[in-house]
Amino acid sequence: VFAIISKQFSKYLCLKYLRYFNKQFIKYLTYKIYLLFHIYILSSKHISRKLKGQIPEIKQTLEILKYMQKKKESTSSLETRFLLADNLYCKASVPPTDKVCLWLGANVMLEYDIDEAQALLEKNLLTATKNLDSLEEDLDFLRDQFTTTEVIFLFIYFNWRLIILQYCGGFLPYIHMNQPWVYMCSPS
């Protein structure tokens, strides 16, 4: 008889432990989803800032190329200043030319004809604006989903709280410190 009672009691405790760990696991998954949302939003904002910085640079370079194309037919050289280092500019005299060097990044610079460089930069500008629009659209959608998820979690939590209130006859339960699987009904 004692063995049967102890088996049933151990099954009861096992189920209580499983329910408790299941709640903890769900809480863990909730926090994980919450963190993933935030990580994605932060990385997307970083990419968005990078694209917003690239677009004006590409536009400025296109304007310079258009100006150089106008000056290509003339015999006079182009007087300009170029960035040598941070806050350090150097004067230069550029003779009329049909070639330009574009900095592609990662310590790579290539020489192009002005027409090819202009086509490449226009393509890059179109791609960057398209990516920025798509990213901002994704961020808006993600913010909406994040808000919806928070509202659903709050709705579930308050419904659970109301069910417990009804079950305990108007008293909120607290979790016993030594036995977290046991809900106790007490005045709140």
Task: Quickly name the fold that domain 1-165 has.
Answer: Helix Hairpins (1.10.287)
- With 60 as the cut, is the pLDDT of residue 21 above it? yes
* Residue with more model confidence, 40 or 49: 49
* Residue with more model confidence, 14 or 76: 76
- pLDDT band, residue 22 (cuts 50/70/90): low
Mean pLDDT of 149-154: 73
* Residue with more model confidence, 101 or 26: 101
Mean pLDDT taken over the chain: 77
* Residue with more model confidence, 117 or 156: 117
- With 80 as the cut, is the pLDDT of residue 43 above it? yes
Closest CA to 41 of 160, 115, 146: 146
pTM: 0.62
Mean pLDDT of 55-68: 92
With contact defined as beta carbons under 8 Å apart, do 152 and 138 qualify?
Answer: no
All structural domains of the chain with their residue ranges: 1-165
Burial class (CB in 10 A: 0-12, 13-18, 19+), 36: exposed
pLDDT digit string, tens, across residues 70-124: 888 788 888 888 888 888 999 998 888 889 999 888 889 999 999 999 999 999 9
